[in-house]
């Protein structure tokens, strides 16, 4: 009677851990703004992680390549159970980093809006006296890398006209297809913007 291969499942666990680290890494870079005027530990951490991201990406691809090689060896040796396990590991390492795009609860913006909903809604009403239907509350420069010809911004918007509940083709001119709801049951959403200058300011 053969003993169960206890560590055959380890590749899936390793792949899930690596994918989770990559997801958290990207979410951190996409949440904490760069070019902060004041120096603090969070800004310094973002700078270091931004610089190291290409190395981390290469390590991620290297681990994925190793899993593919192990899959090929499993096919040659006709070990189909190991082939299935390594295939699941490959799927995990590429699937998990994209989970925050589909599950809002995994995004830091979800918790930021949830815990600051009253303040953000108050800021929208204070910035626009009278009825407020649509307002940009915050705009963060979340650019990464050393490129100077393209800058990425993430705008936190307040919407009372149900733009977030409409399909992209039915939205009004101020509602772009990129707007997504930051937190369920709130009127606050996110709008990713790419601009062609590094010195662009919020409007």
| Extents of the domains making up the chain | 6-102, 106-195
Residue 117 phi, psi dihedral angles, 5° rounding: -60, -45
Predicted confidence (pLDDT) per residue in 132-176, tens digit? 566 777 778 787 776 555 677 777 777 666 555 555 555 555 544
Cα separation, 106 vs 149, in Å, equals: 30
Q: Which residue has the tokens 């083709």?
A: 169
- Count of beta carbons in the 10 Å neighbourhood of residue 10: 12
Predicted confidence (pLDDT) per residue in 7-44, tens digit? 567 888 899 999 999 999 999 988 888 766 545 788 88
Global pTM? Answer: 0.74
- Count of beta carbons in the 10 Å neighbourhood of residue 140: 19
């Amino acid at each position: 009677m053969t003993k169960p291969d206890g560590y055959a499942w380890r590749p899936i666990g390793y792949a899930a851990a690596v994918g989770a680290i990559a997801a958290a890494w990207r979410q951190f870079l996409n949440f904490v703004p760069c070019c902060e005027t004041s120096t603090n530990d969070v800004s310094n951490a973002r700078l270091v992680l931004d610089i190291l991201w290409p190395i981390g990406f290469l390590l991620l691809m290297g681990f994925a390549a190793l899993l593919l090689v192990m899959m090929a060896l499993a096919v040659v040796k006709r070990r189909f159970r190991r082939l299935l396990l390594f295939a699941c590991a490959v799927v995990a390492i590429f699937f998990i980093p994209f989970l925050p795009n589909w599950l809002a609860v995994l995004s830091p913006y979800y918790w930021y809006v949830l815990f600051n909903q009253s303040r953000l809604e108050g800021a929208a009403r204070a910035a626009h006296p009278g009825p407020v239907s649509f307002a940009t509350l915050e705009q963060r420069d979340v650019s990464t890398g050393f490129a100077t010809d393209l800058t990425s911004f993430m705008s936190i918007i307040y919407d009372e006209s149900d733009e977030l509940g409409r399909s992209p083709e039915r939205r009004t001119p101020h509602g772009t297809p990129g707007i997504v709801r930051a937190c369920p049951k709130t009127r606050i959403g996110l709008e990713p913007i790419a601009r062609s200058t590094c010195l662009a300011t919020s409007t």
